[in-house]
Amino acid sequence: MVSTTAEVWTDGSAIHNPGPAGLSYIIRYYEDKEDSMPEAHEIEFKQGFRLSTNNRMEIMAGVYALKAVLHLVDEGTLMDLRQINLSSDSEYFCKAVNQNWLAKWQANDWMTSAYQGKKSQPVKNKDLWEQIVAIQEELRAKNITLVMTHVQGHAGNDFNERCDELARNAANGTEMLKDEQYEKQATEYGR
C-alpha cells in the first residue's frame, strides 16, 4: 500500500533577477512492504527558463510539483493520497496560499488592496496564481488537503538545500524553456 501523504519541496532561482532562471521540486512518498520497512520513493525534477524572476520561479515550482503529484494520483500511483505537505522557502508563495490572499485578489478582480496610502495595483504573476487556484479546486474535488509550510532557506534542511541546488543548476543550464508570460510582459514594458 502506498502512503496517503506525499511530501513535496520546491524552490526557484533567477540569476540577476530577472535573468536566466530555474525551478525544482522533490516529491517523496512511501510504499508499505509486507515483510520490511516502508520503501521511500523520491522524484526529483528541475527545469531552466531563459528569462524570468525569482518570484515566478518559486510559484511555478509549486505549480509544476502539484501538477506532478496530481498526475501520480490520476495514474493510480498515489490513488489513496489524502494530504500533500508542500515546503517552500518562499514566504511570499506560502503566505499567498495560507493567508487566503488568492481569494482576496480574486474578489478584487486580481488587484491588490490599497495599503498604507499605496494605490491598488494589478497582482503580479496572475497567470501562475490562477493555476494555483485551479489546482486547489482539483485537490478539493479529490478530497486531498494541501498543507503549505514556509522553511528557512539555506538553514540546513537537506531537501530544501537539494532543491536550491537543482534550481540553480537549471538556471545555469542549457535546456531552457521560454517563460511566455514573463517575456511577453517584459517586451510590453520595455524591460
Instruction: Return the domain boundaries, the chain.
Output: 5-92+144-184
Catalytic residues: 11-12, 58, 89, 154, 164
- Tell me, rounded to whole angstroms, the distance of Cα 38 from its chain centroid: 27
As a dihedral over the C-alpha atoms of residue 170, residue 173, residue 176, residue 181, rounded to 10 degrees, the angle is 50
Question: What order do you get walking across the sheet with 145-150 strand by strand?
Answer: 145-150, 83-88, 5-14, 19-33, 36-52, 176-177
> 3-state class of 49 per DSSP?
strand
Fold of 5-92+144-184: Nucleotidyltransferase; domain 5 (3.30.420)
Could you give the 3-state DSSP secondary structure of residue 34?
coil
Instruction: Give the pLDDT of residue 9.
Output: 98
Write down the pLDDT at residue 2. Answer: 78
Verdict on whether the full-model pTM lies above 0.85: yes
Grid coordinates belonging to 164:
536550491
pLDDT confidence of residue 63: 98
The closest of 80, 67, 74, 95 to 29, measured between CA atoms, is 80
Q: Give the H or E element holding residue 2.
A: none
pLDDT in tens, the chain (191 residues): 778 999 999 999 999 999 999 999 999 999 887 777 888 899 999 999 999 999 999 999 999 999 999 999 999 999 999 999 999 999 999 999 999 999 999 999 998 887 777 888 899 999 999 999 999 999 999 999 999 999 987 777 899 999 999 999 999 999 999 999 999 887 776 55
For residue 80, CA distances in Å to 28, 71, 132 come to 15, 13, 22
CA distances from 110 to 122, 167, 169 (A): 6, 28, 33
